[in-house]
Amino acid sequence: FNLYGEPGIASAVARWNEVGEGAFQKALAFINTSKYPPSLLFLCMTLGPALVLTPVLERWHGRLAGIVTVFGRVPFVFYILHIALIHAGSSVWTKLTLDRWQFHYLNNQPWPEGYDYALWRAYLVWIVAVVVLYWPCQWFMQYRRTHRQWWLSYL
């Protein structure tokens, strides 16, 4: 019976006892939480800091704050566009590196033979997606501000 909010908390306690003596290893064993479905611990670790930082970030002004505000005003548009952009980029990357077209969004295929995944590439894709999608998001934010159709509030 799980009262703490994390499925499999007993395994976390077991890992706590198995890891080395270092405090860092014990802390990592303790925060090994479930994202899908979100456990109580995961929600506390993510929503807690967000709730604490919100009042601080509300008073934040400047150019960077304006850029971040664009994405905050049209989050659903960014979400839809980033999925399309990343899948298209993934197909182009596969064509350039493996010399074949493979559409990764059609089904859940394993990594292509010869594909080398790296964390630096994930960060690069993230930065490129944010930079590329800034202007479409800014355009839609302005469009939504000047056009008052009821359905625009859902995007």
Burial class (CB in 10 A: 0-12, 13-18, 19+), 106: exposed
Domain match, 118 and 144 both? yes
Domain match, 73 and 144 both? yes
Report if residue 116 sits inside a domain: yes
DSSP structural state of residue 22: -
pTM score > 0.85 for this model? no
Report if residue 3 sits inside a domain: no
Q: Note down the domain range covering 49.
A: 9-58
Tell me how crowded residue 99 is: count the other CB atoms within 10 A of its CB.
7
Per-residue pLDDT tens over the stretch 41-99: 788 889 999 999 989 888 888 888 899 999 999 999 999 999 999 888 888 887 887 77
Domain match, 15 and 79 both? no
Query: How many structural domains is the chain composed of?
Result: 2
Domain match, 68 and 129 both? yes
